[in-house]
Structure 1
């Protein structure tokens, strides 16, 4: 049988030095051996195969000429930064010109509304509204019928919009995605080069984006935190197919701010304002209850809190809920009747409003992150086991970096490390390496090699029968 290895890292911020967390699901164990047995039994060899492919792909991207050139340009910009301005330099380097996006939106809105002769209105949502747009961000637009329209108007609107975009010289690369859960039309705006997604069947994104956008405006440090983490997740390919979405990341940020008592729960934000009901879902909120952030808390402190908090969360058993304002046990909250009364009530309201039973929250996923308003929606449902493992490793490395006094005293090196250096140091520093069921020839080789390595390394490497 071939030799295999399993590795465990004790995450920063763990008060009990004897606890070891599974890097896939976060389950705690008293010993590395117990953690290893759990990983082999529950997560199996497929995880290692998928993870190797993922790491090879990421390493290739980071070693590409384009990525190295971008890293060099950022380093030069950071070296020219004034004291205290390094984070702003990073954000400006990757963020898009919002005025350019607004110009594109206004042009497209005028074209569509003129073509449809006032039968529709065009609303932006996504990164333009939240203010978290990066250079590669798309422009998301929702087409809303204006007034009462015939039953098949949405299908007619979809076809008319598709035909208009294909025939107009202002747009290129038009293609339709009709059979998605939310059908969209994608194209490129010729004048600005921005990619555009048209949605005309689900307006919920406009409400969610408005909430996030107003939250970002409450304090510049919240916006800086969110924008940097989005850049970080994009650079490390955490936001990808099989990984999390940008909206999932924002939901995680909101929960972390709620845990640190910086932002109240959505339940509290809804308690003193009249409801805004759409298809049974209450999208109302008032940020007037949001307390001011103490001046001594910096954006770097918020980043460190995020990395440390999520490197210790047991994702296998947890529901991260912006509505409840924290991390709760998913089985006792959503797995039993009556555990989450507001969820049960919303399911009834959605059923009454739409005439069809809504789907239940997907508890069987490796990550459970609840939409702030649509309580039956798991915004982390697309995250795979391998990508969760990779996410946790990135969190551990980032938490270690933000706790390193040498790095934090040199911001230009810290931000370079967080965005480009994590791949050089993956996986996270190990407490022990266990080699399981190694053949006799391998054990003999290990015994010989142990004579030539440092004592510190010898104390970390073991063979297990």
Structure 2
């Protein structure tokens, strides 16, 4: 019954026909976030899950520690979110990972009133144990391989809390992607979408590059050959960028990526700017900041970044990892169509109708779609024609000016100087 209730909750928050959004854009955002995000009490209850896992696995490996990662840590948790955990074992444990997950399953099964639906997957690249935690009604995956996910989550949490507009923006985009079935299992990873949000804001100089954050770190923290250390930095964005509202940033996200050159450009959160794929084919073209990447490739520590994909979103720490290798042609076409359609709505709809419009579910058909031509500065948008909504017209004009500048920068030859 508890599992059924939890599944009903998940279905309910993705049923946008049940949403009742009233007031202006900001008021609607607050209403939506209150509805879909985990409450403080729900987050605090997850401490019980971590405690139960720790207490149970400590019987097998005294001294082990359980670290959560993913959306619960970053602040992006919504009511459909599962929990991910990394279990750090004492150094004396030498058992292979594919055997660890089965031993963990055995001990978890000894608590049937706490853990259910146990499944150990030992043959995966990252062996995991999946289970359902009955007291909190949450699904959870645990692994023993690497703390990389923990560090990635800490980094995202730091970036998403740098500016008060960033976390709400990321949650809205995540929810939009869930409503339209763009992210999740066998789809675009939630992590990759979060990196797209971060990179978009780096392009607007709202967020710093990860390289800049690593320069501030007192020492390196190496995880599987990659420096995963970073420090929060006091980062001053441009004056014009600070004036952009959450509404402008949300519409601008879709406009940015429906124009982005995915075919030729690598999205590098580490560098904070796009890099041409040729840079990773000819290391002489790579900026000096990629010294560790060159070292790891030359010394056989890592494989080269996979470039022959429809999207290439580089992990901010493991610079050899493309986080969007799973995005196939059919999924890419669907994602790009939704980017374009949502950007079009930004130009056409008044701000009070924008959120409702982009969350309205529409049937997606696998077909060749005619490219959408967005209004240019010389062409009045429907908003300008309709009731002369001055505030919305000014919002669109501000975004156009800002985007025209960084589009020019993207078209320039590789500029490897620091900001």
CA separation in 2, counterparts of 1:316 and 1:69? Answer: 32
Structure 1 residue 83, shift from structure 2 partner: 7.1
Report Cα offsets for 1:111-141 as digits up to 9, x if no partner.
2354246331001000110010111111111
Gaps of 5+ in 1: 1-65, 433-465
**Contact (CA 8 Å) 1:184, 1:199: kept in 2 or not?**
yes
**Contact (CA 8 Å) 1:281, 1:374: kept in 2 or not?**
yes
Q: How do residues 31-430 of structure 1 correspond to structure 2 at under 5 angstroms?
A: 70-74=15-19, 77-79=20-22, 84-104=26-46, 105-112=49-56, 114-116=58-60, 118-146=62-90, 148-152=91-95, 154=97, 157-169=100-112, 170-273=114-217, 274-291=219-236, 296-331=243-278, 333-340=279-286, 341-343=288-290, 345-346=292-293, 348-349=295-296, 357-404=301-348, 407-410=349-352, 413-421=353-361, 423=363
CA separation in 2, counterparts of 1:400 and 1:116? Answer: 56
Kindly tell me: are residues 178 and 164 of structure 1, through their superposed partners in 2, closer, same or farther at Cα, counting changes over 3 Å? same
**Contact (CA 8 Å) 1:269, 1:289: kept in 2 or not?**
no
Determine helix, strand or coil for the equivalent of 2:313: coil
Kindly tell me: are residues 376 and 98 of structure 1, through their superposed partners in 2, closer, same or farther at Cα, counting changes over 3 Å? farther
Moved more, 148-157 or 368-377: 148-157
CA separation in 2, counterparts of 1:112 and 1:192? Answer: 16
Determine helix, strand or coil for the equivalent of 1:291: coil
**Contact (CA 8 Å) 2:86, 2:142: kept in 1 or not?**
yes
| Higher-RCO chain (CA-CA 8 Å, sequence separation at least 6) | 1
Report Cα offsets for 1:37-67 as digits up to 9, x if no partner.
xxxxxxxxxxxxxxxxxxxxxxxxxxxxx67
Kindly tell me: are residues 350 and 431 of structure 1, through their superposed partners in 2, closer, same or farther at Cα, counting changes over 3 Å? closer
CA separation in 1, counterparts of 2:60 and 2:372? Answer: 64
CA separation in 2, counterparts of 1:350 and 1:203? Answer: 22
TM-score normalised by L of structure 2: 0.77
Structure 1 residue 101, shift from structure 2 partner: 3.8
CA separation in 2, counterparts of 1:277 and 1:372? Answer: 13
* Larger Rg, first or second structure (1 or 2): 1
CA separation in 1, counterparts of 2:27 and 2:343? Answer: 21
Name the residue aligned to 1:35. Answer: none
Structure 1 residue 154, shift from structure 2 partner: 4.5
CA separation in 2, counterparts of 1:351 and 1:145? Answer: 31
CA separation in 1, counterparts of 2:111 and 2:86? Answer: 19
Moved over 4 A (4+): 66-69, 153-156, 292-295, 341-344, 349-352, 421-432
TM-score normalised by L of structure 1: 0.70
